[in-house]
Amino acid sequence: MSLSCSYSHLCSGCDLLSLSRTQVEARRSKALADLGLAPSHIKTVWIGDGGLRNHLEFTYEPGHEQNPARLGLQTSARLGLYEKSGLVRWRKTLDLAGCPQLTPELEAWLQVFRRDLPPLTKKAGIRLRVSPEGRRGVWIDTANEEIRDLLNEENWLVRQLAQGTVVEIGQRRKRVVDEKSEASTGTRRLRLADPVLEPWFQTLDGQKIYGTVASFTQPGWKAAAALTKTVLQKLPDVASTVLEFGAGSGGFTLPLLKRKHRVFAFEFDRLAVAALKTGLEQLPPEERDRLQVFEGDFIQSDRAWKAARENLGLAPTEFSAATVLVDPPRSGLGKFLETLLGDEANLPKHWIYVSCYPESFARDLKRLTERGFLLEDLTVVEQFPYTNHFELVASIIKKPN
């Protein structure tokens, strides 16, 4: 066992912890081969055996007060991941005192948080995050009734804010703000404010990536740096044009600009677009000028791409010579790929596909191969060591005539 964990026989988080690196790689290769992806094309990038996560989503289950109906038993609240045994809907939450997948900074934040858990009465999702500067944040994803009760109870929120914790609540990522005591009544007022964009992440070059505690990012910046390096290795060494779909808040975009590539970035999430534009402010003007951002749902709607295509300003030869960098959701490229393959006579000849879901990647690759493309190489990036989750980075090229 390469990563030591006292919960390995109970926790569902690391299903492959009993395997060696060689065994894990063999398992990945077989899974990809079953999808029609030749093992000879596969390389593996190991970042480390653990300590890679700067944020993690935990499950919170409240404890039960003493109750005759429960035979007088009293249980404590649990914060952790699901146990291995049992059907998914009936799984219990395994209370975790620590986790070797966390960075030391996130592990320390978990220990502090566990000593003062929120007074929730229903199951909830809780994300803990630490920024590169060491700032601590928590996002509580729970029902509206629980949000109301937390604000009314206020003591737990006040304690968290007093120690500098950023607290976000609900699907809309609202931030809890303490307006302090009102002089006339001697009472304080907590309220929910709009999301605030702050540097919660960073690129491999140390550039700030803005977002919220609840924003999507890679699991940690060390892992993200390895993923970005893998992507950059598949790009031309000289300055080129990149069409980036699924740009997010700039994890690939900012390093691309630093390396003098011209980037057309496409993203559907408005908050991510705002975060990307905020991150651009730290770049010199000559780098910012090489970026054009388009907002729209390019995966599910053909209208967004058709409208953007008219404004690219690329001649057919420039468009064909560009590199397409795609990082889609688990569902894959969907309607976008259908639209692009159906409408474009001179498709870009080089694609870099980043995927967290090999099944949808295999489906999209099949569509591309039907149009004369071939899989040049495939890299597995082990961002989530000893789990069933991994990232794929593929280089796909047009077959020569």
Q: What is the pLDDT of residue 74?
A: 52
Tell me the C-alpha distance between 264 and 170, whole Å: 32
Element (H, E) at 191: strand 188-193
Q: From first to last of the 401 residues of the chain, give the pLDDT tens digit.
A: 468 888 988 898 888 888 999 999 999 999 999 999 876 778 999 999 999 999 999 999 998 654 445 454 556 899 999 998 765 556 789 999 999 999 999 999 999 999 999 999 999 999 999 999 999 999 999 999 999 999 999 999 999 999 999 999 999 999 999 987 544 555 668 999 999 999 999 999 999 999 999 999 999 999 999 999 999 999 988 999 999 999 999 999 999 999 999 999 999 999 999 999 999 999 999 999 999 999 988 877 778 888 888 889 999 899 999 999 999 988 898 888 888 887 667 789 999 999 999 999 999 999 999 989 999 999 999 999 999 899 999 999 998 87
The per-residue b/e assignment along 233-244, b for 16 or more CB within 10 angstroms, e otherwise, is ebbeeeebbbbb
Of 321, 302, 307, 313, residue with least CA distance to 242: 321
In the chain, residues under CATH classification 2.40.50 are 55-193
The CA-based diameter of the chain, rounded to the nearest angstrom, is 80
Q: What is the pLDDT of residue 92?
A: 87
184 to each of 154, 189, 201, how far by Cα in Å? 19, 12, 41
Cβ–Cβ under 8 Å, residues 220 and 52: yes
Q: What is the pLDDT of residue 400?
A: 80
For the record, the structure tokens of 99 come out as: 């986790």
In the chain, residues under CATH classification 3.40.50.150 are 21-50+219-398
Cβ–Cβ under 8 Å, residues 227 and 393: yes
Q: What is the pLDDT of residue 362?
A: 95
Cβ–Cβ under 8 Å, residues 12 and 347: no
- Kindly compute the dihedral angle of the four CA atoms of residues 330, 335, 341, 345, in this order, to the nearest 10 degrees: -130
CATH number of 55-193: 2.40.50
Q: What is the pLDDT of residue 278?
A: 97
Q: What is the pLDDT of residue 319?
A: 92
CB 168: neighbour CB atoms within 10 A? Answer: 24
Q: Does 21-50+219-398 carry CATH code 3.40.50.150?
A: yes
